[in-house]
Structure 1
Amino acid sequence: MHRRTFISAVTTGGAVAVVGSLWQATATATGADDGPYGPLLPADGNNLALPEGFTSRIIARSAQEIGGTRWHPAPDGGACFSDEDGWIYVSNSEIPLAGGVTAIRFTAEGAIDGAYPILRGSNLNCAGGATPWNTWLSCEEIFRGKVYETDPYGKDDAAERPAMGRFKHEAAACDPDNQVIYLTEDESDGCFYRFTPETWGDLSSGRLEVLCGNMESVTWKEIPNPAPGVLETQTRHQVADAVHFNGGEGCHYADATCYFTAKGDRRVWAYDTRSASVTSIYDGDGTLDGVDNITGTAAGDLYVAEDGGNMEINIITADGVVAPVLRVEGHEESEITGPAFSPDGTRLYFSSQRGTSGSSSDGVTFEVTGPFRH
């Protein structure tokens, strides 16, 4: 049974706290109702179970041509960017040694108007994040992984950003209010980082810090050596009182709060920049399992994709309701990756990384259109 679940925001010390002005109410009861879009219907011809009023299409398959280029294997993190009268969706490729990023351009009507690589030859590009100056940060999920700044429009060459640290990167979220970028680390004892550029909009230099202290009152301390060598102390172990999270995954910034997930913890965390505190807004006790990539809308809703679980994307509403908004059926050995909304909020893009076969060469990228709250 897929039920709606209400969540409460609690700190690790047990005190109740509401994080960010997006979160105006909490509750601890459960109910049999569904989420704001209603129950999921039987799967459509694309193996997607969707609510009433939503439709889907497959826009790309690994190893098949799309818009003049071959779609990459193991599609992972992604984002959308406005482009004149249309938009662009970018997607990472999480394969070793031959990873990278591919972009798809859409017309104002949603037709595919070309595709092209914007990064080649990198290594296990997992998630990342969009910047306010319309670049895509593509992150390598490997030992001493790099962050690449790429151009969704295909005009400028990708650039390495070593000042952002060499570690097992997962995702990035830009905070334009404080002019910093938050970074997650996919290790069982991974950390949560903050990068402050010397000049906002230029990521070639800056200061990398790690979250420290206790959850009720956190501090940030500088990483002494952001790009350690193979035999040197890695970033997550350089500061003694750094806070560790089990398997950092996606992150999303909105309204003075950075939301980030930790798959091993089975939690969605929230760092409130105003109170300098961290709370858990979802603790794994509900319909959402395998918390992974995360995105959000201007309406205040969060959308969290599952790695495993029952292959759903769940909504977490501003009033604390957790419910599935779609489910991919018949892809049991895959994971959902790269959720991102079109600029107008009416279309949701995401991938099943390994499709029905469980192979990285069988990735499928979807578009869902419908009355999303935006």
Structure 2
Amino acid sequence: MDRRTFMRASALAAGTTAFSGSLWQSALAAPAQNATGPYGALQAADANGIQLPAGFTSRVIARSGQVVPGTSYTWHSAPDGGACFADGTGWIYVSNAEMSAGSGGGVSMIKFNSSGSVTGASRILSGTNRNCAGGKTPWNTWLSCEEVDSGRVWETYPLGGTAVVRPAMGVFNHEAAAADPVRKVIYLTEDKTDGCFYRFVPTTWGDLSSGTLQVLKAGTATSGSFTWATVPDPDGSPTVTRNQVSGVKRFNGGEGCHYASDTVWFTTKGDNRVWQINLANNTYELAYDDNLVNPGPAPLTGVDNITGSTFGDLYVAEDGGNMEICMITPDDKISVFLRINGQSASEIAGPAFNPAGNRLYFSSQRGTTGSSSGGITYELTGPFRV
């Protein structure tokens, strides 16, 4: 159930008079506010320094520069964006390496069997530049995005195959991607203070070798309607993609991106916001703004990577802040889900659920050392809502 459907059903169940169309939007659209989380208060830090709700446990599955336990593969530095893929009776977790091309940039993966034991690990992309976030496709590839001005999207193949660059998706400071199988497009964020929000329309769905890059156009307000316009020159030379179309909507440091049920959410780190794009009616609004939490203090700062559960909860990771992953529930309530202690010089990246939705993976990019060589990748298990 998508978030708006959830809210509508809840209101009707309570006896609220039914609204229609835009009245529902105006009645229910509001940035998330503080609330007690669905899993209750955080407990004392565990042996890994992580505070979790009761019933949840953590384990370290990989450390940068060390062999992944159960394999012969050395885990990469600066683990960043990630995703999970079904693999027979088990699954795979992929993780970007936000390193320069000459220092280990690319993508690695860890394989798990049906019981969650690690059975293998390997590289699936090498020699690329500052692979930050990305996105999973419905055909089980991982889009790894380069966070540099000349950045491109690389399509990688966790289930087998050779990675290939997708220049038709634009050359710019890429951050994250999210696939929309209904409209058959890929949404893309741009990590610049005056960045844009894009979508790529492939010529053929499932083949990203050719297509049309478009950019979102809207006013300067934090809510309203929007349209899409074609970017004339996706290679961004001599004019960068974000400056080729007039009337584009500017976003302050685009980060994570997540699609579900006719809605795409993305984050902007420059202003600590989560944006909600309502694709069924071509409107946008704020799902979270740290300046609009009342009463405060705002729990989520350093807004970065984002993912969603099958239940409809959003999980938003912090780059800095209090090193927390926060939850935004379908009824627009926000709470702290976990907190990592003793790693204030790091950031949380790559949150992703396994296919069953009962294990959450994420990384602390610089771990306890504050260096890219100190990255730690974790797994959480517990009574997740599914």
1:118 counterpart = 2:120:
no
Residues 32 and 334 in structure 2, CA contact (< 8 A), matched pair in contact too: no
- Matched AA of 1:206: G
CA distance in 2, matches of 1:51, 1:18: 33
CA distance in 2, matches of 1:87, 1:28: 33
In structure 2, the residue matched to 1:217 is 225
1:240 Cα shift? 1.4
In structure 2, the residue matched to 1:11 is none
* 123-132 or 206-215, larger mean C-alpha shift: 206-215
In structure 2, the residue matched to 1:5 is none
Q: Secondary structure at the match of 1:190?
A: coil
1:281 Cα shift? 1.0
1:30 Cα shift? 4.9
Q: TM-score if structure 1 supplies the norm length?
A: 0.91
- Matched AA of 1:91: S
Q: TM-score if structure 2 supplies the norm length?
A: 0.89
Q: Deviations over 1:17-57 (max 9, x none)?
A: 749xxx968588755xx200000001000011000000010
Q: 1:18-37 alignment to 2 at 5 Å?
A: 18=25, 30=34, 34-37=36-39
In structure 1, the residue matched to 2:339 is 327
Q: 1:351-362 alignment to 2 at 5 Å?
A: 351-362=363-374
The equivalent position to 1:315 in structure 2, one of 327, 336, 351, is 327
CA distance in 2, matches of 1:269, 1:177: 20
CA distance in 2, matches of 1:100, 1:17: 44
- Matched AA of 1:365: T
The equivalent position to 2:88 in structure 1, one of 84, 87, 92, is 84
Cα 1:86–1:234 change in 2 (3 A) is same
CA distance in 1, matches of 2:23, 2:49: 40
CA distance in 1, matches of 2:278, 2:130: 30
Q: Deviations over 1:275-320 (max 9, x none)?
A: 1111001011320111100000121110000001100001100011
- Matched AA of 1:202: D
The equivalent position to 2:314 in structure 1, one of 293, 296, 302, is 302
In structure 2, the residue matched to 1:68 is 72
In structure 2, the residue matched to 1:257 is 263
* 353-362 or 280-289, larger mean C-alpha shift: 280-289
Q: CA RMSD in A?
A: 1.7
CA distance in 1, matches of 2:32, 2:143: 37
1:238 Cα shift? 0.6
Residues 91 and 338 in structure 1, CA contact (< 8 A), matched pair in contact too: yes
- Matched AA of 1:270: Q
The equivalent position to 1:235 in structure 2, one of 241, 246, 251, is 241
Q: 1:84-103 alignment to 2 at 5 Å?
A: 84-97=88-101, 98-103=104-109
Q: How many residues align?
A: 352
In structure 1, the residue matched to 2:152 is 146
1:213 Cα shift? 2.2
Cα 1:27–1:291 change in 2 (3 A) is closer
1:104 Cα shift? 0.3
In structure 1, the residue matched to 2:301 is 289
Where structure 1 has 5 or more consecutive residues not aligned to the other structure, the ranges are: 1-14
Q: Secondary structure at the match of 1:299?
A: coil
The equivalent position to 1:158 in structure 2, one of 158, 163, 171, is 163
Q: Secondary structure at the match of 1:249?
A: strand
Residues 34 and 333 in structure 2, CA contact (< 8 A), matched pair in contact too: no
Where structure 2 has 5 or more consecutive residues not aligned to the other structure, the ranges are: 1-21
